[in-house]
Structure 1
């Protein structure tokens, strides 16, 4: 009798714990790690905050548990995928499993997956624990590329491609919302086709035309200019998240007084808007310059993508990561998503024109543009994953695998 009572008690405990995690994950996806509170999670499941502390003593424990649940799911997908015999089969299985899980979450058939882009907003010691678990996932996904035919790829190139691939998984949830749930399997196939085949026609050359980064940046020569201030803020938001980048930290980064912050920006919400607008304007400048340049649409697209990849690792970079969107106030988020989509839609137009003229392989222009946007955005963290990577090498190491094919070796097509 005692054992049966204990079993019922354990089952009730697990059911309530899972309900708290479900609710907290939705809050975390909407407000970020820093925006999640025990009180909000408790209210979402009809409990008091004190009751929630029976399951999770601190907010950090709750946030970490949400993220770990998502990491464990992704590890399971990767483990199943890596049981396949070939890199292509592994990639296909990984996409199928991940897209099916996203479909289940959107349909209410399974709890939502947490957005994993905000890991660094956690505080120690949970941050180290969760990040180590994520590294296990990263290493497992990198095994997709373990094959004799890919032996020519260095460890650094495999790591860069793994970073790019994971970014596609994370960003897919943002653009999949535009589609019916029944289309998710077909969309996974389209993503697989773009990743394996790239956008290049057979025989296409990888020959980006360089652009002057100083001209693209539009840098202000003043010692502590608005541009300098926004760059410092962008770097901090990328590394610490929106809520973790305080006025004091930004001012300390530039060795200026806190009052200088308000000389350039009226409030913190204005700051993140300004950082996003700076990012989108840089991308638009590159797009305009590429579209006005010589050659066909393939050449223009390659030049634009290569320039932005270099920009991310230059003294003018990085650009603001879209992961910051998960924590900004909702009235700001919608407007920034609209601007991001307009940048992506311009890439889609270039791809569509390239397909029409025959310089770009027939693909879904919208999906290809979203995947390109995700890759360029993830370039802000390339030096973290591939230490020592040179600015000039970034296009070939990171962007080329998307545009020419993720399993393509540099000597195979176009040099």
Structure 2
């Protein structure tokens, strides 16, 4: 059929509309990554794309709708990576293809040939009505990713596949942060070594999951009085984990503890101070678990697994979990860098345990720096698995979740 002048004009208008729509999403995604969803404004988006604010509101009536569209775009990207995995036959091939797609995308971004997508850390800060459809799409994406591991034979394997999916996805979310420290030329090597750990784990053959019990009293700071800083940090950590930075207001934290806002400002000057202090509290808990594990008997593999097991106990079952790493996105860039450096110091301590274990023969020869970042990511994702973990006996929940990195993702879901 021959196109008329009117049809051509309509097509050009549609093309221009779509091009501006994409530019707005790209600009908003960069701002979300830089300032968080709450810090992204129509005015800043308009300035980035060379439009006026009214033009942006023509496409998106509310800021929350623009943020949701950015998150939908990020989920769509993950769905495209999953589709690449689905083209293969075996779970290993499918997961390898999914991981490769993530690395390839980050390589294109590093080369300046693609723009970053919005990180999904602040999806929960959207109002309930706006986030509902996006959250459902996220859950559908998660279920689709889980099918890369195959069809579970029983309930225990179903639980193992869910744990693997959670750890795999969180590692892909954390990857852009630590991969910044590597040159482009190293990407292929890092990708191969990352998949090797997912495939074979970090423990040497014949090692079992036999962590030494560590008392949480030696790891978790005492709560103290109702108005104590520790109680504020506990309440704030839960609220930030569940509702995001924007959903954890000083008023809400004070309300949770039935104290005044003045009690909060007695300890901290501003909300950024609160997030920073929550992170440092969490890092202190991780460091205490590492020190307690080092002081226990047994091999270096047992030291490593004891620390991991203790922190999974904290994340799954304790009333005072670790602050989710996504909260760093809400901080100014300088503080984000500071938090990453402190997190990396803890990761290097895990790397040291692994290197000692490699020399001892209880840890498999792996790239310990990469493996340590993967362990930190696994521990971070565990908070989101609280509902999952409560359906299982506590020790079994920790064993299955830890096995994703300890023993690899393609066994029968049982450690050892």
TM-score category (smaller protein): over 0.9
Range that drifts further, 325-334 or 380-389: 380-389
Of 267, 272, 282, the residue aligned with 1:279 is: 282
Structure 1: 5+ residue runs without aligned partners?
none
Counterpart residue number, 1:201: 204
Q: Is the 8 A contact 1:159 1:386 kept in 2?
A: no
Map of 1:118-197 to 2, 5 A cutoff?
118-147=122-151, 153-197=156-200
Counterpart residue number, 1:370: 373
The count of aligned residue pairs is: 412
Distance (Å, rounded) in 1 between the aligned partners of 2:146 and 2:119: 20
TM-score of the superposed pair, with normalisation by structure 2: 0.95
Map of 1:328-343 to 2, 5 A cutoff?
328-343=331-346
Distance (Å, rounded) in 1 between the aligned partners of 2:180 and 2:388: 29
Q: Given the alignment of the two structures, is residue 270 of structure 1 paired with residue 278 of structure 2, yes or no?
A: no
Over 3 Å counting, the alpha-carbon distance change for 1:410 and 1:91 in structure 2 is closer
Counterpart residue number, 1:230: 233
- Residue 330 (structure 1) shift: 2.2
SS for the counterpart of 1:154 is helix
TM-score of the superposed pair, with normalisation by structure 1: 0.95
- Residue 204 (structure 1) shift: 0.6
Counterpart residue number, 2:317: 314
Q: Is the 8 A contact 2:227 2:263 kept in 1?
A: no
- Residue 308 (structure 1) shift: 0.5
Map of 1:44-123 to 2, 5 A cutoff?
44-123=48-127
Q: Is the 8 A contact 1:321 1:377 kept in 2?
A: yes
| C-alpha RMSD over aligned residues | 1.7
Distance (Å, rounded) in 2 between the aligned partners of 1:27 and 1:375: 27
- Residue 117 (structure 1) shift: 2.2
Q: Given the alignment of the two structures, is residue 397 of structure 1 paired with residue 406 of structure 2, yes or no?
A: no
Over 3 Å counting, the alpha-carbon distance change for 1:387 and 1:10 in structure 2 is farther
1:78-116, Cα deviation, whole Å (9 max, x unpaired): 122123111111111111111111111222212212212
- Residue 323 (structure 1) shift: 0.1
SS for the counterpart of 1:281 is helix
Distance (Å, rounded) in 2 between the aligned partners of 1:332 and 1:320: 15
Range that drifts further, 382-391 or 44-53: 382-391
Moved over 6 A (4+): none
Of 328, 336, 349, the residue aligned with 2:352 is: 349
Distance (Å, rounded) in 2 between the aligned partners of 1:107 and 1:32: 24
1:207-245, Cα deviation, whole Å (9 max, x unpaired): 000100022112133234221110000001111112221
